[in-house]
Amino acid sequence: MYLGKDRKLNRWTGYDYNTPGWYFITICTKDRVEYFGKVENDKMILNRWGEMAQNFWQDLPRHFTNCKLDDFVVMPNHIHGIIEIIENLNNKDGGINVGNADLRSLQHTKMFLPKIIHGFKSSLSREINKLQYFEWQKSFHDHVIRGEKDYNAIKYYIQQNPAKWAEDRNNPINIKNKIS
């Protein structure tokens, strides 16, 4: 599927994102603007928006009863996290129980993972935009975790992300150097 010269298909073609399992997610701010705080001495220091992002992320299982959260980190301009999609034993028709999240724009899709991320992004955007202009990059990156070795490597990556900020490809300094 062609989506234009600057866009590529983000989801794994043919994969059912309702499938119970573990998913590694990265969500970036538009133009990698550092809205959420800064890294000092290899530790992430969250500002008001970063604390809000962390709280909204931790609140996801309350709104999406088919997910559990694992390790995550809020960085200056992106969020990494592991989400587990679990079976919904209460929903006999195999559908999705999404609590009170407003997902009208995604009703056409049956992919649960994009609904979770859309709910997170839109809720956080609404709150931040009450006081300051804020935008996310379109879509998000996902990786289906394929076993314990993959899971452990991703968990380590998330935990070490603040200490590796100087080399991070999402660090605006590295983006400018890559362009030059």
Per-residue pLDDT tens digits for 71-128: 999 999 999 999 999 875 444 444 444 444 444 444 444 578 889 999 999 999 999 9
pLDDT over 60 at 175, yes or no: yes
As a whole number of angstroms, the distance between CA 123 and CA 121 comes to: 6
Instruction: Read off φ and ψ for residue 97, nearest 5 degrees.
Output: -100, 110
Domains and CATH numbers, the chain: 21-162 (3.30.70.1290)
As a whole number of angstroms, the distance between CA 155 and CA 18 comes to: 22
Per-residue confidence (pLDDT) for residue 128, from 0 to 100 = 96
The pTM assigned to this predicted structure is 0.80
Beta strands in the chain (DSSP E): 21-28, 37-40, 43-46, 67-74, 78-85, 141-144
As a whole number of angstroms, the distance between CA 83 and CA 73 comes to: 12
Per-residue confidence (pLDDT) for residue 140, from 0 to 100 = 93
Per-residue confidence (pLDDT) for residue 96, from 0 to 100 = 42
Would you state the torsion angle of the CA atoms of residues 90, 87, 154, 53, taken in this order, to the nearest 10 degrees? -30
- Residue carrying structure tokens 């962390």: 54
Per-residue pLDDT tens digits for 118-159: 999 999 999 999 999 999 999 899 999 999 999 999 999 999
> Percentage of the chain with pLDDT > 90?
63
